[in-house]
Chains A and B, each alone.
Chain A
Amino acid sequence: MTALSVSGLTLAIHGTPILSDVDLTVGAGEIVGIVGESGSGKSMTALSVMQLLPHGSQWSGSIKVAGNDVGAMTETELCGMRGRDAAMVFQEPMTALNPVQTIGDQVAETIRIHTGTGRREALALARQTLDRVGLPADRFPLDRYPHELSGGQRQRVVIAMAIALRPKLLIADEPTTALDVTTQAQILDLLSGLVREEGMGLMLITHDLAVVAGLADRIAILQHGSVVESGATRDVFAAMRHPYTRALFSASAHVPSRTPPPAADGPPVLAVSEVVREYPQPRRGLFHRPPRFRAVDGVSFEIARGENVGLVGESGCGKSTLARAILALDPLDGGEIRLNGEVFSSAGDGPRMTQRAGVQVVFQDPYGSFNPRHKVRRLVCEPFHLLGSPPRGAELEARMLRALEAVGLSAGDADKYIHEFSGGQRQRIAIARALIIEPSLIVLDEAVSALDVSIRAQILDLLAELSGRLDLSYLFISHDLTVVRAITDRVMVMKAGRIVEEGPTTRVFEDPQHPYTRSLIAATPSLAAALAAPADRRAPSGRRDA
């Protein structure tokens, strides 16, 4: 039986067309991947199926969930359908659960509202469901609250809520985008296992071609609200009839052309030696000293002029804490950081404000890292206050223009506000802001993680070009191994506050020494590997091996 059939779905929100003529089917026990960049209408397709569209939405066409016409249902019937016949898992596990209710009650609620069973029976069923998604009773009793769980564990609870009543259709909207690679592999494994064993249909929405390539039976590629290409995954990727499919594919696998860094002479741009950063934890008791958590534990490394170094690791491994220490935003608890040979920050002494101009940063969120009330001109020129005698008048103007042009923007953009730019353009502005005082090192903290693949490819090209031309060094922090592999000369793998492996990027990726590095690489979905695998394989082999 077909879990979902959508035909001719057209949607407009407040008159703005969002979807046009979308056709889609998901069979029982089948995984259908919906791929597209942000704004392509992936999520709105899912919300149309669930009939949880925002106000002002008008849709037409036919949506059938397990054979029942959604368009003909009353609101009460829709409530009966949601959670029982069709369930949904969302992107952000950290906020998808009610923080003031136990996980047991939240899973049991799905059961109670649809079947009317008592609390005790529903909780017993919730227990079974949580066991099913890999949250055993001894470690995850029903009275746990969401804040006591990690992101991956919360996503498992969300999945338990969705599958408690064994719905015919499960919609997963970017279910692993917010998770680490190893957690992503586990969650994807769990989802595909559930689909095969329970005979559910899974609609897997993602921007990551590699995720669907290894998992989906069929895929549909969405662009500007229309399905531009669909079919069996291997066929679509083998033929790539539509130019957009080809563009997506090449952007996903894009490796910018880079010139190798010149032979190092003089002191390294950055020398980190035996750096320690600790955080106080909550007190155990009133008269106990609060225990301290060592987030960065004796880390040492150097970055040469013009060198691009990657720092990878899972969330909580200490990479962002290390980045803050390198930027001298936090004082050190041990060790020393030297910038161009001079002490920049050391334990007990604190950072030297005057040297801040030597290191700049680009953060992940292109939306949150700018003051929305300042014009681009002011945003980009902000770092000048770090200089003893900042440029004025014509020189200021010239340097601002040079920075904007370096990142592919024009003089006309200087007097616009930040909301007038897209995510990719904003990240260019962030890079311009980092470049303008000609630092020797730029820390890129997940700088391309929030961008669509095509934009990401452009930004990577830009970064590679700037580094080659200006002899810039990068510390490229990311959880995305594909990107790190594409842009860095050397890579460091961080785990629990320590660097467990370090070496030339190619060597580390091709011949990882540390077991942790191996597990990270094995968990990373690879487009090429997924497509090269035998046709009859249904689950991605890389993940099974992990």
Chain B
Amino acid sequence: MTAYLLGRFVSLALSLVAASLVIFLVLEIVPGDPASFMMGINADPQAIAALRSQLGLDEPIHLRYLGWVAGLLHGDFGMSYTYRVPVADLIAERVVISLPLTLYALALSTIIAFPAGIIAAARRNSATDVAVMGATQIGVAIPNFWFAMLLVLVFSINLRIFSAGGFPGWEAGFLPAMKALTLPAVALALPQASILARVMRSSLLDTLHEDFMRSARAKGLTRSQALWRHALRNALIPVLTIVGLQFSFLLAGGIIIENVFYLPGLGRLVFQGITQRDLIVVRSVVIVLVFAVIAVTFLVDVAYAIADPRLRRHGR
């Protein structure tokens, strides 16, 4: 187990180094000079050159990469070209919205998907199964921004239960903040829950056909005992993979939903960074997202090892 985790950890570190290099190089190739963008179209070339040296853009590329990485290790992401504030501060104030929103959506998705998938698989071809599969089909098909607007229409404008957008900040209290995140979380969770429920169902159905399920029944277990005791844990591996992927997707992919609900999250920050050639912000947000994705992948790997003893090769 230790060797397995150590191995995963080394691969995590290597992935981060590789990712930082790729991110840095790709953004170097991207056309558009931040300095000339900031100074406007009619700027004096000398002023642009001065700004470039002020921003450190005239240094050799490898020094800039090393400087950036060294800064990252200290938590210093550099200064935003356009906002003129430390990027770390910008990211910090966005992460406190995006991360809770992601976790909220993921929790909702799992809470809906697991029971739905399990019931559908246990009662295959029944009316329940057909209903669950039909509902998930719709859930996958509906664009989430449209569903978000529908939620606003029903719960904010007609029923006046939730506000239509904005975020009061965590200093306003836990419950008001969570309330503000509820509609976005539901909008984000619906398609994810639909996908997850389908994966859960098919994975469980595959497992139900395994030979050891027949052994379990021959022992005298009822159908549902066999499902809970033997099928579920075996069916979990592919489901965990999807949950890991969904986390990564939700963290950065919430940009449209953030726009619908006027939430100042990471997605909006990176979008603004791209349009304003604030490449240092883009770079920093992307590396933070990469780190999150790699960290979650690591957690999923740990979960695999817990769920499946065959991965713990050197356990004893």
| Assembled-state Cα–Cα distance A98/B225 (Å) | 14
Can you name 6 A-B residue pairings with CB atoms under 8 Å? A75-B222, A79-B221, A87-B219, A96-B211, A162-B218, A284-B314
B233 pairs with A82, CB closer than 8 A: no
Interface residues of B in 187-231 (CB under 8 A from A): 210-212, 214-222, 225, 229-230
A263 within 8 A of B: no
Q: Are A286 and B3 in contact (CB under 8 A)?
A: yes
| A344: Cβ under 8 A from any B Cβ | no
Q: Are B221 and A100 in contact (CB under 8 A)?
A: no
Binds A, one of B37-45, B50-58, B305-313: B305-313
Task: Return A288 CB to nearest CB of chain B, in Å.
Answer: 10
B234 interface residue per 8 A CB criterion = yes
Q: How many Å from the CB of B229 to the closest CB on chain A?
A: 7
CB pair B218 A286 closer than 8 Å: no
Residues on B with C-beta less than 8 A from A88 are 218
Band of interface residues on B? 20 to 34
A68 part of interface (Cβ distance < 8 Å): no
> How far in angstroms is the closest Cβ of chain A from B23?
27
**Inter-subunit contact B219/A161 (CB<8 Å):** yes
Q: Are A286 and B211 in contact (CB under 8 A)?
A: no
With the chains together, A109 CA to B10 CA distance in Å?
A: 39
Which residue of B is nearest A284, CB measured? B314
- Mark B residues whose CB is within 8 Å of A: 3, 6-7, 10, 210-212, 214-222, 225, 229-230, 233-234, 307-310, 313-314
B6 / chain A contacts, CB cutoff of 8 Å = 286
Q: How far is the CB of B135 from chain A (nearest CB, A)?
A: 25
Cα distance A161–B211 in the bound complex, in angstroms: 14
A80 neighbours in B (Cβ, 8 Å): 220
Question: Given A145-B309, A283-B3, A285-B3, does the pair A96, B212 have CB atoms closer than 8 Å?
Answer: yes
Residues of A within 8 A of B234 (CB): 98-100
Residue on A nearest B125 in the bound complex, by CB: A55
* A90–B225 touching, CB < 8 Å: no
Q: Contact at B313–A282, with CB atoms within 8 Å?
A: yes
Which residue of A is nearest B221, CB measured? A113
Verify B309–A90 contact, CB threshold 8 A: no
Shortest Cβ distance from residue A270 to the other chain B in the assembled complex, whole angstroms: 38
Q: What chain A residues lie within 8 Å of B220 (beta carbons)? A: 79-84, 110, 113-114
Closest to B124 in A: A55
How close is A83's CB to chain B, nearest CB, in angstroms?
A: 3
Residues in chain A near residue B219, CB distance under 8 A: 82-83, 87, 109-110, 113, 161
Cα distance, A55 to B32, chains bound together (Å)? 66
Q: Note all chain A residues with C-beta closer than 8 A to B309.
A: 99-100, 145, 147
Whether the Cβ atoms of B230 and A98 lie closer than 8 Å is yes
A90 lies within 8 A of B233 (CB): no
Chain A, 71-103, contact with B by CB distance < 8 Å: what is the 0/1 string? 000011001111110011010100111111100
Q: CB < 8 Å: which of B7, B230, B314 contacts A101?
A: B230
Residues of chain B within 8 A (CB-CB) of A109 are: 216, 219, 221, 229
Q: Does A158 lie at the interface of the complex (its beta carbon under 8 Å from any beta carbon of B)?
A: yes
Instruction: List A contacts of B221 (CB < 8 A).
Output: 79, 83, 109, 113
Chain B's nearest CB lies how many Å from the CB of A151? 13
Partner of B215, one of A76, A97, A285: A97
A546 at the interface (CB under 8 A from B): no
B109 to chain A, nearest CB (A): 24
CA distance A111 to B211 in the complex (A): 20
Whole-angstrom distance between the Cβ of A119 and the nearest chain B Cβ = 13
User: Which of the residues A87, A100, A162, A284 comes within 8 Å of B233, measured between beta carbons?
Assistant: A100
Contacts of A81 in B (CB 8 A): 220
Establish whether residues B3 and A87, one from each chain, have CB atoms under 8 Å apart when the complex forms: no
Q: In the assembly, what is the distance between CA of A283 and CA of B221, in Å?
A: 40
Q: Is the CB of B230 within 8 A of A52?
A: no
Nearest A residue (CB) for B307: A100
The one of B216, B222, B313, B314 in contact with A98, judged by C-beta atoms closer than 8 angstroms, is: B216
- Any B CB within 8 A of the CB of A50: yes
Across the interface, name the chain A residue whose C-beta is closest to B219.
A83
Closest to B4 in A: A282
Chain B nearest CB: distance from A162 CB in Å?
A: 8
**Given A101-B230, A147-B309, A82 and B212 contact (CB-CB distance below 8 Å):** no
- Nearest 5 A/B pairs, CB to CB: A83-B220, A95-B211, A83-B219, A82-B220, A88-B218
Contact A82 B214 (CB under 8 A): no
Complex contacts, B225 vs chain A, CB 8 Å:
113
Q: Which of A90, A100, A101 contacts B214 (CB 8 A)?
A: A90
Most chain B CB within 10 A, of A50, A81, A96, A114, is at A96
Picked from B218, B308, B314, the residue with its CB within 8 Å of the CB of A82 is B218
> What per-residue 1/0 map shows which CB atoms of A120-134 lie under 8 Å from chain B?
000000000000000
Bound Cα distance A84, B220 (Å): 8
Is there contact, CB below 8 Å, between A87 and B215?
Answer: no
Inter-chain contact A98/B3, CB cutoff 8 Å? no
Per the bound structure, the CA–CA distance linking A90 and B6 in Å amounts to: 39
| Residues of B close to A95: CB separation below 8 A | 210-212
Question: Are B214 and A52 interface neighbours, CB within 8 A?
Answer: yes
Chain A nearest CB, measured from B226 CB (Å): 10
Residue of B nearest to A50 (CB): B218
Contact code string A254-290 (vs B, CB < 8 Å = 1, else 0): 0000000000000000000000000000111110000
- Whether the Cβ atoms of B10 and A99 lie closer than 8 Å is no
A97 to B310, CA, bound (A): 13
Bound Cα distance from A81 to B222, whole angstroms: 11
Instruction: Kindly state the separation between the CA atoms of A285 and B313 in the bound complex, as whole angstroms.
Output: 11
**Cα A466 to Cα B217 with chains together (Å):** 48
Nearest Cβ distance between residue B58 and chain A, in whole angstroms?
Answer: 42
Chain A hits for B233, CB < 8 A: 100-101
CA gap between A410 and B45 in the complex, in Å: 85
Expressed in whole angstroms, the Cα–Cα distance for A247 and B214 within the complex equals 33
* Residues of chain B lying within 8 A (CB to CB) of residue A114: 220
Give A520-539 interface residues, CB cut-off 8 Å to B. Answer: none
**When the two chains form their complex, are residues B211 and A90 in contact, meaning their CB atoms are under 8 A apart?**
yes
Q: How far is the CA of A145 from the CA of B217 in the complex (A)?
A: 20
Q: How far is A81 from B211 in the complex, measured between Cα atoms in Å?
A: 20
Residue in chain B with minimal CB distance to A288: B3
Contacts of B7 in A (CB 8 A): 286
Minimum C-beta distance from B14 to chain A (A): 13
Nearest B residue to A82 via CB reads: B220
The reply to whether B215 and A158 form a contact with Cβ atoms under 8 Å apart is yes
A79 touches B222 (CB 8 A): yes
| Docked pose: A110 CA to B215 CA in angstroms | 10
Cα separation A96 to B218 with both chains bound (whole Å): 11
Chain B residue at smallest Cβ distance from A282: B313
* A114 CA / B220 CA spacing, docked (Å): 8
Q: How far is the CA of A76 from the CA of B233 in the complex (A)?
A: 25
Residue of chain A at shortest CB distance from B212: A98
CB pair B217 A52 closer than 8 Å: yes
Q: With A79-B221, A161-B215, A162-B218 given, name 14 new contacts (CB 8 A).
A: A52-B218, A87-B219, A90-B214, A90-B215, A92-B211, A96-B211, A96-B212, A97-B215, A99-B234, A100-B233, A110-B220, A147-B310, A158-B215, A161-B219
Residue of B nearest to A171 (CB): B218
Report the minimum CB–CB distance from A112 to chain B (whole Å): 10
CB distance from B309 to the nearest CB of A (A): 5
Contact A87 B218, CB 8 Å, known A95-B211, A99-B212: yes
Min Cβ gap B265→A in Å is: 38
Q: B211 to A145, Cβ gap below 8 A?
A: no
For residue A123, give the distance in angstroms from its CB to the closest CB of chain B: 16
Chain A 278-316 near chain B by CB (<8 Å), digits 1 or 0: 000011111000000000000000000000000000000
Q: How far is the CA of A109 from the CA of B314 in the complex (A)?
A: 27
Q: Max chain A CB contacts within 10 Å: which of B214, B234, B314?
A: B214
- Chain A residues closer than 8 Å to B307, beta-carbon distance: 100
Q: Please report the C-alpha to C-alpha distance between residue A287 and residue B6 in the assembled complex, in whole angstroms.
A: 11
Query: Across the interface, do B310 and A145 meet the contact criterion of CB distance under 8 Å?
Result: yes
